[in-house]
Chains A and B, each alone.
Chain A
Amino acid sequence: MDSRDQAQVGVRRTVIRTIAALIGMFAFAFALVPLYDVFCRITGINGKVDATAQSVVHEEVDETRVINVQFITRGSPGLPWRMSAETHQMSVHPGQMAEVDFTFTNNSHSENWGRAVPSVSPSNATPHLRKISCFCFQEQHLQGDERLTIPLVFQLARDLPADINTVTLVYTLYPVEHEIQNASLDSLLNNRFKSDSNNNSNKNEVAGETI
């Protein structure tokens, strides 16, 4: 019986340890979420761009290299908007500042909030892309049937890795659900000027900053 009691003690110890390991692994799975974000931010490998404007760095333009920059825009269900770039691709030199217009069209009659979430491919180009001004820094608000054109101003750093010849910027539109009260109040207070000039096509906003 002695050995059997011993076995019972051993079983209890094993069970306690395995349950501790279980809880640890469950917590680890959730800890991976912030860890993943931190890891990606440090290494910049998931193509996520800082959602803040960066300042222009004046550096000599490298005329010897031509980088093909492509623009892809995607809508998403739940937001009746169309988003399009003025051009699908352009050639820039590293160090050169470039500007391209993006047009947002609200195809519905009701006002909505939306946000364009950027992604850069290849991901190791991300740290070398400076966005001086981008509509993706903040949410957009469009009245029913409104059309809005906002430029993207960016610069590719001179230290862009030599093996990169093409950089693709992808913007995916997502609906943003504000509490309707706030949103409409907000729009009443701030956007009266804009709603007056509603439906005018091709309205140029100043680099998306007032929105």
Chain B
Amino acid sequence: MINKVITADEAVAGVKDGMTIMVAGFLGTGSPEVLLAALVRKGVKHLTVIANDGGLAEGQPAVGAGKVSRGVGVLLDHHMVDHIIASHLGVNPRLNEQFADGSLKYTLVPQGTLAEKIRAANYGLGGVLTPTGLGTPMETEKDELGRDKIVMELDGVKYLYERPLHADYALCRASICDRFGNFVCSKATKNYNYVMAGAADKVLVATERLVEIGEIDPDTFAVSGVMVDDIVEGEPKWQI
């Protein structure tokens, strides 16, 4: 069997300047910190990042004092991102600083639409039709690649057509993953992990716990290892 378990540095070795990467997580929770740290070590620049938000800056968790930045916040600290495609950008102050100095541009996508655009890419669909965003700037503003939005009326009901959103790399985080890549995420760490795994040319999973095949009940796993290219051990349980 192919060995998918490699180091974080090996996993991100193919990430190049200017690539598009999607990063799972919601305000840092469920983001693969060991993969983000490896990207910082590699020092890639000019990334386009697809994520729910800009993660957290140092000192930001709502409860307890955060000692380090989390999620996409790590990439923002090192000015590695040129374009962020996300649904919420109000929390991490690095975002508005970098919008203001012109080094970062953004495209906003409603949260449910963002998930479905990613899911469409993952599941081989030509896009999705959603009522969300009709009559708002989502209808009149261009999309993440500068294309006009299209309103479709089907059987008397109006929808926005939203195109698939695909990346070069997807960075996911598992609570438990086996050597085939079958994985599961604990509680509220699922968020985009189950959606993004499969929506990129290369899917990397950082896991808190790596298990041997057959070591635990296969019914535990929520995502098929078919979606996963490389697995990295040593993802920390977040400590506050």
A and B: bona fide binding partners? no
Q: Which residues of B contact A (CB under 8 A)?
A: none
